[in-house]
């Protein structure tokens, strides 16, 4: 009997080593609710990479997340662990530095994508879902091409001009490009002479 009590005490000690004490004015439960931003527990559990039952325990049984889970949630939502656990305000938003040469585990990549999708308005998420269903990864991979990124960053008249080119014949586009190249060449010669 005494052996069972000691085992239970050790188990309780072990759990408290990996969970956070509750001594702040606003509870972790309340901050978790804030991070849900109107999403269902099922959607949030997926976005945070947690089993639904684990997330539900934080709300229904006042369970406290472990350090690993708190870190996982903080990372997925872009908040600091200090804020999540203790309610301390961040001076700067968390933006983890990532070495692009390092391959991230698939679950972290999926968590990021789910966090991005969950931040969209319902109508935006629906439109994006339809585009992805029709065009899939091929469409998204085009966004990685430097030329396409430059086009996306165009603003104002330059963007309008680029969009108008799509409606012109190939011959007319060649004429316009030749004219632009001619203007560049003459400007270059004038600046060298000048």
Q: Based on the fold, state whether residues 33 and 100 are members of the same structural domain.
A: yes
Distance from C-alpha of 93 to C-alpha of 40, rounded to nearest angstrom: 25
Cα separations in angstroms, 56 against 64, 71, 85: 11, 18, 17
Answer yes or no: do 163 and 104 share one domain.
no
For residues 40 and 99, membership in a common domain is answered with: yes
User: Domain range holding 180?
Assistant: 156-193
Q: Is the pTM of this model over 0.85?
A: no
pLDDT per residue as tens digits for the range 9-39: 444 444 434 444 444 456 888 889 889 888 8
Contact present, 16 and 68 (Cβ < 8 Å) = no
Last residue of a domain, one of 119, 139, 168: 119
In this prediction, residue 87 carries a pLDDT of 79
Single out the residue in 69, 93, 119 at which a domain terminates: 119
Residues 109 and 32 in one domain: yes
pLDDT at 104: 52
Task: Measure the CA–CA gap between 102 and 96, rounded to whole angstroms.
Answer: 13
- Do 46 and 112 belong together in one domain? yes
**187 lies in a domain?**
yes
Strand partners, 167: none
Task: Specify the CATH number for the domain of residue 17.
Answer: 1.10.260.40
Q: Which long-range contacts (CB under 8 A, 24 or more apart) does 47-55 make?
A: 47/76, 47/111, 47/114, 47/115, 47/117, 47/118, 48/72, 48/73, 48/76, 48/77, 48/111, 49/76, 49/107, 49/110, 49/111
Q: Are residues 36 and 93 in the same domain?
A: yes
CB-count exposure of residue 66 (10 Å: 0-12, 13-18, 19+): middle
Q: With respect to residue 168, please indicate whether it lies within any of the assigned structural domains.
A: yes
In a domain, 76, yes or no: yes
Give the pLDDT score at 2: 42
68 lies in some domain: yes
Q: Residue 12's pLDDT is what?
A: 41
Decide if 132 is inside a domain: no
Number of domains in the chain: 2
Same domain (yes/no): 20, 90: yes
CA 140/CA 96 separation, integer angstroms: 23
- Give domain status of residue 45, yes or no: yes
The tens place of each residue's pLDDT in the chain, 194 residues long, gives: 444 444 434 444 444 344 444 444 568 888 898 898 888 898 888 889 899 999 999 889 888 888 788 888 888 888 887 888 887 765 344 444 444 555 555 667 777 777 777 777 888 888 888 877 777 777 777 878 888 888 888 888 988 888 888 899 999 999 998 998 888 887 777 777 66
Position 131 in a domain: no
Residue 64 placed within a domain: yes
Query: Which pLDDT does position 7 carry in this prediction?
Result: 41
């Amino acid at each position: 009997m005494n052996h069972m009590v000691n085992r239970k005490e050790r188990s309780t000690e072990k759990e408290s080593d990996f969970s956070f004490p509750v001594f702040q004015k606003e509870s972790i439960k309340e901050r978790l609710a804030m991070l849900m931003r109107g999403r269902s527990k099922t959607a949030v559990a997926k976005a945070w990479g947690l089993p639904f039952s684990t997330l539900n325990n934080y709300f229904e049984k006042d369970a406290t997340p472990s350090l690993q889970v708190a870190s996982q949630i903080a990372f997925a939502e872009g908040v600091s662990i200090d804020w999540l656990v203790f309610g301390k305000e961040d001076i700067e938003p968390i933006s983890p530095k990532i070495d692009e040469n390092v391959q991230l585990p698939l679950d972290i990549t999926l968590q990021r994508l789910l966090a991005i999708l969950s931040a969209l308005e319902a109508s935006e998420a629906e439109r994006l879902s339809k585009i992805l269903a029709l065009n899939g990864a091929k469409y998204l991979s085009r966004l990685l091409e430097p030329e396409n990124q430059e086009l996306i960053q165009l603003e104002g008249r330059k963007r309008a001009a680029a969009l108008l080119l799509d409606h012109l014949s190939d011959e007319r586009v060649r004429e316009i490009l030749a004219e632009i190249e001619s203007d560049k060449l003459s400007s270059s010669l004038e600046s060298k002479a000048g």
